[in-house]
Structure formats: C-alpha cells, structure tokens
Amino acid sequence: MVALRAFADKSVEHIRRMENPETNKGVLAELEDLIGHLFKNIALLEEAVTTSSYVTGASNYQRLEFLGDRVVSLILAEKLIMSESLDEGEMTFLKSELEKNNQLAEFGETIGLRNYIRAGETSENISKKVVADVFEAICGAIYLDTEETIRIKEVERFLQKFNISERIKAEMLTAGDFLPIRNQFENKFRELNRCNPEIEFRYRSVGEAHQKRWQIDECAIKADPTGEYVTLTGVKSNNWFASKKDAEWDAIAQAFRYMEE
C-alpha cells in the first residue's frame, strides 16, 4: 500500500512539474543545456517532447519525429558513404543497425531524456520506443530551428555528443563476420526470387539485463514488399549467444544452407 501511494504521488508530481508554466520553462532550459542547442523557437522543443497521451488535442512529437528520422538517416548515409570499403548492401545493413530503436533510445538515455518527456505516465513507464521517437523528434526540432545553410551540420553536431562516428566504426568491426554470410544469403535469394528479401527475427532471451543471452526463436522472410512474412521452417538458433547479432548470424547461416539444399 505504501509503495502504491508513493507511485501515485510520484505520478502526480511528474504531471505537476510539467504543467506549471514557470517550472516547465526551467525544465526545457535544462534540456537545452543537455542538447547543446539554444532554441530560437522553444515551442519546437516543447512539441518534440510531448506525447499524444499527455494532453488530448495538444501538438505532439510525431510530425517532428517524421522529419528527424529522415535527417538522421541522411547524416548516417553521408558518413557511411565516406568509407569506400563498403558496398551498397553493407551500408544499408550498417545504417539499419544504427537506426534501430534501441540504439537511438540509448542515445536518449545518455542525456536522461525520459525525465523530460511530457507523457500521461511516469518517466519509468515510458517505453524505449517512445524515447527513441522523441530523440528523433528533437533532431527534427533542431533542424527546423536552425538557419537553412547549417541545418544538417547543427543536427550532426548534436549527434556527435554520442560519438556517432566512433559507433559507426565499431559497427563496421563487429559486423565484419556477419556481413559476408548475410550478403551471400541475400544474393542467393535474389538469384532465386529476383527481388530483395526483408528478414525479420523473433528473439528469446534469458538472464539478467546486464548479462542477457539471446536465441532466435523464429526467422521469417518477405519477398514482396506488399506481401506477408513467411516463416522459414526449422531456421532458428540451437545455442544461446551473448548478443542479438551473433544469434542473427547463426540463423542467417542456417537460412543460407537451407536455400543451398
């Protein structure tokens, strides 16, 4: 009962903190410091951190997230194309890895972003997907708030707070073993089906958060962009792996052998 009351009190305090105009102004100023961008139009930042569950009818982050997603994607593509050792398939794979919700949510968590999100629930209950979406919305807000000639550079400067260039290099190293077998699989698939495959994995995990192990429970593929995913029967991990990527590598290797038969 005490824990429940404490939770309720915390929820009320969170909402009051964000609804008080003076407090809200201070909260946004704190976030500006963390972002490293002083907004000319503070309403953009306010919109970027507001969810649809906060106040019915209020502007929320979704439009800015739509823009931010494209801006982040362009910046990543530009950085990847500077590496002449990567082909198109490798660049596409690496960009998708860097754009995943858990990666963007991690960037948001680095600056404590969930504590600044205006939502109908407490910060602890805000999902990682929402944190990732709000992060992209902030990128969109920075883009619109900046002079046209330096918009991309200003968003890139924000992303560099999270060592984006170093993360790209790290992804290139860790993907070194995975990319060749994935490329072989995709090339074989294109040879047989004359189209690009879309692969989806269903994961299973065990262990505590800091030492989880992963297994692919199911691997599905979609050949037609308008079609449905088809499960590859029998393609799944037989072992547990320290990372999702290693589990995916194992499943893709099986899928490749499956097509070779």
pLDDT in tens, 134-180: 999 999 999 999 999 999 999 999 999 988 877 777 766 555 555 66
Checking if the pLDDT of 258 tops 70, the result is no
Long-range (24+ apart) CB contacts under 8 A made by 194-200 are 195/223, 195/224, 197/221, 197/222, 197/223, 198/222, 198/223, 198/225, 198/229, 199/252, 199/255, 200/229
Res 223: pLDDT: 67
In the chain, pLDDT over 70 holds for what percent of residues? 77
Per-residue pLDDT at 5: 43
Span 33-44, average pLDDT: 95
What are φ and ψ of residue 220, in 5° steps?
Answer: -125, 155
- DSSP character for 86? -
Same-domain pairing of 44 and 114: yes
126 or 183: which leads in pLDDT:
126
Q: What is the CATH number of the domain that holds 142?
A: 1.10.1520.10
Tell me: do 129 and 255 sit in the same domain.
Answer: no
Residues 116 and 23 in one domain: yes
Q: Which of the listed residues 123, 156, 171 is the one where a domain comes to its end?
A: 171
Catalytic residue from among 46, 47, 65, 69: 69
Compare 92 and 5 and report the one with higher pLDDT.
Answer: 92
Known catalytic residue: 69?
A: yes
One domain, residues 166 and 52: yes
Tell me, yes or no, whether 153 and 196 share the same domain: no
Nearest Cα to Cα of residue 121 among 233, 38, 12, 198: 12
- Please give the residue that has the higher pLDDT: either 105 or 190: 105
* Average pLDDT of the chain, as a whole number: 79
Same domain, 18 and 139: yes
Question: Domain boundary at 171, 187, 210, which?
Answer: 171
> Closest Cα partner for 19 from 52, 46, 57, 48?
46
Residues 225 and 203 in one domain: yes
- Which residue is catalytic, options 46, 47, 133, 136? 136
Give yes or no: residues 134 and 234 share one domain: no
152 and 191 housed in the same domain: no
pLDDT tens column, 77-100: 898 888 777 777 667 767 777 777
Total domains in the fold of the chain: 2
pLDDT the model gives residue 53 = 82
The domain boundary, picked from 121, 152, 171, lies at 171
| Same domain, yes or no: 150 and 24 | yes
Q: Which of 10-14, 102-106, 129-133, 226-230 has the highest mean pLDDT?
A: 129-133
Range of the domain at 129: 2-171
Domain holding 240: CATH number? 3.30.160.20
| Residue whose entry in the numeric block shows the structure tokens 């619109």 | 144
Look at residue 47 in the predicted model and tell me its pLDDT. 95
Residue 131 and residue 9 in one domain: yes
Residues 164 and 189 in one domain: no
Whether 136 is a known active-site residue: answer yes
